[in-house]
A and B are shown apart, each in its own frame.
Chain A
Amino acid sequence: QVTLKESGPGILQPSQTLSLTCTFSGFSLSTYGMGVGWIRQPSGKGLEWLANIWWDDDKYYNPSLKNRLTISKDTSNNQAFLKITNVDTADTATYYCARPNWFAYWGQGTLVTVSS
C-alpha cells in the first residue's frame, strides 16, 4: 500500500525559506523508476507542478519559480524534501507530494501560509 504524507511549517513570513517534507511508504526511492513530485494549489485555484526527484537523483524543476526550488531525498528514511527560498504571499497554497509518472498516489496536502 502506497502512502505519502506532507509536513511543513504552517505559517512563515515573507523572504523566509519554506521547507517541506514528504514521508512515504509502500515504495522506495532506491528502486529503478521511482520518484516523488511536488504540486501546489492556492485556495480555490488550480494545480501547479513544482518539481520531481527520481531514484537516480535526477531532478526536474518548474522554471516559473526561477531557481527558488531545491528538491532532495533521504532514501534510507523514505523521505523527499522541497525547499522554496524567498517566499512571498503568492506562495500561500496547499502543497502536495505525489508519485510520478502519472501521480497515482497523493498525500493529503499541507497548507502553507505566507504572511507578515
Chain B
Amino acid sequence: DVLMTQTPVSLPVSLGGQVSISCRSSQSLVHSDGNTYLHWYLQKPGQSPQLLIYRVSNRFSGVPDRFSGSGSGTDFTLKISRVEPEDLGVYYCLQSTHFPYTFGAGTKLELK
C-alpha cells in the first residue's frame, strides 16, 4: 500500500495568517495515464469531509482561491492564505492513483 505521510499533525494559526500542510507518498503518484491523483479534503467537526483540491492543484467548485495545492511525484503541499474561522478543522490528503486508495492521517488546523 502507498503510505501517505501528512505533516504536521497539529497546526496552530492566527486568523488572517497563512499555513502549509505537507503530504508525502511512499511512491510516485503519477498514474499510467499521466495524471496525478492526489486530493485534499477538509473535515469540520460533525461533518463529512469536503473536497477542496483535486488532482494536485485544481480547486473544486465553490472553494475560495485562498486554498491552493501544488507538488509532484511524491511531495505535495496545501497552502491556505488569509485563514478564516470556517477553515478550522482536520485536513486530509488522499491518493487515488494506486489501489488501495490511502489517506493521510490528518492535520488539525486550530486557533493559536
Contacts and interface: CB of A to CB of B under 8 A. Distances in A.
Are A and B interaction partners? Answer: yes
Interface of A: 37, 46-49, 52, 60-64, 96, 100-109
A108 B49 CA distance: 9
Given A100-B96, A105-B51, 7 more contacts: A47-B92, A47-B94, A49-B103, A60-B100, A96-B49, A101-B37, A102-B55
* Shortest 10 CB-CB contacts between residues of A and residues of B: A49-B101, A102-B54, A106-B48, A62-B100, A47-B103, A102-B39, A104-B51, A46-B105, A60-B99, A46-B106
B100 A64 contact: yes
Contacts of B105: 46
A108 B51 CA distance: 14
A102 B51 contact: yes
Contacts, number: 53
Contacts of B102: 49
Interface string B78-99: 0000000000000010101001
A109 B48 contact: yes
Contacts of A96: 48-49
B50 interface: yes
A105 B54 CA distance: 12
A60 B99 CA distance: 8
Interface string B24-54: 0000000000000101010000001111001
A102 B37 contact: yes
Contacts of A61: 100
Contacts of A104: 51, 54, 60
